Amino acid sequence: MSLYIGCIAFFNGFYILRRWNTGNNAEEQYALEKKVYLIITILFIGFTLRIFMFPLWFLTLQSMIISISGAMCLVGVHNVNPQVSYISSALKLILPSLYAYWLILNFLDRKMETQPFMKKKLWLLTPIGLLILAETVLDITFLFSVPPRQVSCCTSLFDVPRDDILQIAVESTWRWVIIFYGMAVFIFSEMLYFIIAQKKSMLSGKKWWFGKKWLMIIQTILILFTMFVFVLALQTKIAPLFMKLPFHQCIFCLCQTVWDALLTLFMVFSGLFLLLIYFWIVEDNNYGEVSLKLNRIMVNILIWSVCLFGGGVIILSIHLIYILYT
């Protein structure tokens, strides 16, 4: 299915984008539009299914632990062929956000007769399709070339003391937890501000900001940095606390043994990805042309982002307080 969806997205996206022109001959444009809507329907179903299917990769790797000598968690499985497996796993985290971005653009586009995001949807199909094809090749390469050999696992990778700069960055202190909570408070306040501002825009009938690329770039960097800090906070301090293993730092072990840590990871990342998608959409000049009609949908996206991100932080905080005071 991945190869099928990737080929449809990659080849048809480039082909249709080159020929999409509302000024073309009516018959030619009508035939092209029918083809576009068929492809968009197929990709809508395909991207939606792939969002829900991405955990299957990690469940598959999880099932392989017992058959690989030396593996205790997903780190050991990845280390069988790290040049392939880690890139493939990274794509499993990146692609769902791109699917969600495309699906939301498609949803917004269908709400407007002018279809302001049609060209952007078509343009995105080529890079998304290319990434899907690359991901599929990596998956096949890894799964069909796993040799039966001894591997090192998370203990030797994370827990062995070292004197380099990396060890200083990942030492077990509260540094990254404190930074994450500071970033969380700032981002949560920012989310509430944008919700209030867009609701005022809806009531007043005035357009809110749009097309500010510099603000979108700053927000993207801020959100990606928050994700990075959150992973370091889980890895360095939260994992040893939650697993009650003071000298063991491994986010994979944490996620496979502490269910609410996995839930927190999912909620925080989902909330931040939704916020990222929000900024990518409102930055588009085409959104400014139709912002008043789409404000309600964008406010709902922000509300979902707040609920997911805030809910994840609350679950994490409750567990931390319970561990520290019991």
pLDDT, tens only, 172-225 = 678 899 999 999 999 999 888 888 877 777 666 666 555 567 778 888 999 999
The C-alpha atoms of residue 182 and residue 245 are separated, in whole angstroms, by: 26
Contacts of 150 (CB under 8 A, 6+ apart): 69, 70
Q: Which amino acid is at 95?
A: L
Q: What is the DSSP letter of 155?
A: I
User: What is the residue extent of each domain of the chain?
Assistant: 1-152, 155-326
Contacts of 270 (CB under 8 A, 6+ apart): 308, 309, 312
pLDDT of residue 317: 94
The C-alpha atoms of residue 256 and residue 261 are separated, in whole angstroms, by: 9
pLDDT of residue 229: 93
pLDDT in tens, 100-137: 999 998 888 888 877 788 878 888 888 888 888 888 88
Beta carbons of 170 and 236 less than 8 angstroms apart = yes
Residue 268: pLDDT over 60? yes
Q: What does the pLDDT average to over 9-24? A: 60
Regarding predicted confidence, which is higher, 225 or 82? 225
Alpha helices in the chain (DSSP H): 2-7, 13-19, 26-53, 55-64, 74-78, 82-110, 118-143, 154, 165-169, 175-204, 213-233, 239-243, 251-257, 259-282, 285-324
pLDDT of residue 113: 76
Chain center to CA of 161? 32
pLDDT of residue 318: 93
Q: What percent of the chain has pLDDT over 70?
A: 78
**Three-class SS of residue 23?**
coil
Chain center to CA of 46? 17
pLDDT band, very low/low/confident/very high, at 285 (cuts 50, 70, 90): low
pLDDT of residue 282: 82
pLDDT of residue 313: 95
pLDDT of residue 320: 92
pLDDT of residue 263: 92
For tokens 């290319």, name the residue: 130
- Lookup: tokens for 235: 């890895």
Q: What does the pLDDT average to over 267-280? A: 92
Residue 309: pLDDT over 80? yes
Convert 119-141 into a string of H (helix), E (strand) and C (coil): HHHHHHHHHHHHHHHHHHHHHHH
- Lookup: tokens for 303: 């509300």
Residue 95: pLDDT over 60? yes
Q: What does the pLDDT average to over 249-272? A: 89
pLDDT band, very low/low/confident/very high, at 274 (cuts 50, 70, 90): very high
Residue 8: pLDDT over 70? no
Q: What percent of the chain has pLDDT over 90?
A: 21
The C-alpha atoms of residue 104 and residue 117 are separated, in whole angstroms, by: 10
Q: What does the pLDDT average to over 262-286? A: 88
pTM of the model: 0.85
